[in-house]
Structure 1
């Protein structure tokens, strides 16, 4: 592989924010061996950080140390260097050592967000979930707009089967990123798991509205649902069935029951039939078509 090709692939991974450790290490090592670091200019430091993480992932700590030393020499006392050093410590030292390293830094600079998040990660990974949650809540009180932090909190609660708390964390994510349909879908599925079906169906329909283009009825009929839109229609169908089974159910969030559940069920059925009637690429039959058709054809209640 040429040096230019390696540089292009590394840049592509940085743009897409993909880890791809094996590929990054292979290409990054080639750049180092062919002395291509100078060609990167100021981007060279980002490349070295990228290669440091990849080297740790694949177990080449010698290369990680080499890159980390170059970065530390250029940016002494940098918070990013502190984070990289902490990750390097996590790779070979006991968790207690890493936690002490992070605690010492936070004692001197409590606003170091990167170090705080690394500490929370170690706490969670070592099974200290309650302490991780407490620290994460404190972190979010300080850095409210950190979407990743709220997603982490939602995930921790979900893994502990505390779905209502998980949904509460996700509401903050939706406030911070109201145009992201993936987060809305995650919140809808969490609401469904928490058995708040009125709220869940409302959120699933919002996902459809965000991802299915124009509100025109004609365009909706002509379109073929794809990707997360199909998943959202499955959610609508599931919620409609649960609501039809108990029209007097109460919503934990006090969300009103939809007035025309039967029509929503019929629409979801039609949309799913359209999605699974698509011939797909190269004439392939949509996988699971017969199973889906049989499922949507089942009586509502």
Structure 2
């Protein structure tokens, strides 16, 4: 049986790593909670209760989540953050329509509550009201333009509706806000390929290689979509906007094939460093 000191140490490690290991957080946190050791956390006790409540919801321990929420509500009775946590608990225990109505009431009182707005959109999507979720999320990013997570969610919603052009527009904002993240560029490449904009797809793929090509931990992407894009662009000149792009596509295929056989040819990637 884990003692309180060990549980506190584990929780500290999870906080340092910003981990969402719900099962582990619950198992350690419930020991602290049930042994009345909250005082040992000092000012961090309230954040601990929030984390424990979320972990408890994730693992299906509603009783523990409700107990945490009771403490938080007593300390912060009008806190939007605590109200949002109450909504998450309703999502786990009641009909989605009940949770949706709860969030709508909160937004009527405070239309600028970002956390509540996002939860409302999540419930709308869960209910299959995707177009309404798109409308709400479009309003949200107009208000909170720099929220990368919201733009990514909007792109994903558009993709679920097969509106790939709109998804690419949303991703273009993501790339403006987070231009150094190669995984966002790769997502744009995959989306462009699905939208059959092959020249744009290959450009995004090449940008991804340029960003992580020298990273030994994260090798350049050579997935099937990438190679299909390059092959299609190279074999169908009508899709290429220039002979240079076709040449780069050919070099990409050759490099991918060489890497499959363990070759370490760098000549075909000289253009990346120009």
How high is the TM-score relative to the length of structure 2?
0.87
Query: What are the superposed Cα offsets for residues 135-154 of structure 1, whole Å, 9 maximum, x if unpaired?
Result: 11111111111111111111
Indicate which of 224, 235, 242 corresponds to 2:232: 242
The question of 1:50 aligning with 2:51 is answered: yes
Question: CA–CA distance in 2 between the matches of 1:23 and 1:164?
Answer: 41
Give the structure 2 partner of residue 90 of structure 1: 91
Preserved contact between residue 151 and residue 173 of structure 1 (Cα < 8 Å): yes
Provide closer, same or farther for how the CA distance between residues 74 and 208 of structure 1 changes in structure 2, counting only shifts above 3 A: same
| Structure 2 unaligned spans of 5+ | 264-274
Give the structure 1 partner of residue 66 of structure 2: 65
SS in 1 for 2:112: coil
Query: What are the superposed Cα offsets for residues 91-146 of structure 1, whole Å, 9 maximum, x if unpaired?
Result: 11112211111111111111111111111100000111111111111111111111
Question: CA–CA distance in 2 between the matches of 1:257 and 1:16?
Answer: 46
Give the structure 2 partner of residue 174 of structure 1: 175
Alignment of 1:121-132 (within 5 A): 121-132=122-133
Question: Post-superposition shift, 1:160?
Answer: 2.2
Preserved contact between residue 208 and residue 233 of structure 1 (Cα < 8 Å): no
Question: CA–CA distance in 2 between the matches of 1:95 and 1:236?
Answer: 39
Give the structure 1 partner of residue 34 of structure 2: 33
The question of 1:231 aligning with 2:216 is answered: no
Question: Post-superposition shift, 1:239?
Answer: 2.0
Give the structure 2 partner of residue 158 of structure 1: 159
Give the structure 1 partner of residue 198 of structure 2: 197
Query: What are the superposed Cα offsets for residues 218-246 of structure 1, whole Å, 9 maximum, x if unpaired?
Result: xxxxx8x653x332576553322111232
Give the structure 2 partner of residue 4 of structure 1: 5
Query: What are the superposed Cα offsets for residues 136-188 of structure 1, whole Å, 9 maximum, x if unpaired?
Result: 11111111111111111111111222222111111111111111111111111
Provide closer, same or farther for how the CA distance between residues 203 and 56 of structure 1 changes in structure 2, counting only shifts above 3 A: same
Alignment of 1:245-284 (within 5 A): 245-249=235-239, 256-257=241-242, 259-271=244-256, 273-274=258-259, 277=262
The count of residues paired between Structure 1 and Structure 2 equals 262
Provide closer, same or farther for how the CA distance between residues 263 and 53 of structure 1 changes in structure 2, counting only shifts above 3 A: closer
Question: Post-superposition shift, 1:19?
Answer: 2.3
Question: CA–CA distance in 2 between the matches of 1:5 and 1:23?
Answer: 12
How high is the TM-score relative to the length of structure 1?
0.80
| Structure 1 unaligned spans of 5+ | 214-222, 251-255, 279-301
Query: What are the superposed Cα offsets for residues 190-230 of structure 1, whole Å, 9 maximum, x if unpaired?
Result: 111111111111111111111123xxxxxxxxx8x653x33
Preserved contact between residue 148 and residue 177 of structure 2 (Cα < 8 Å): yes
Preserved contact between residue 151 and residue 169 of structure 1 (Cα < 8 Å): yes
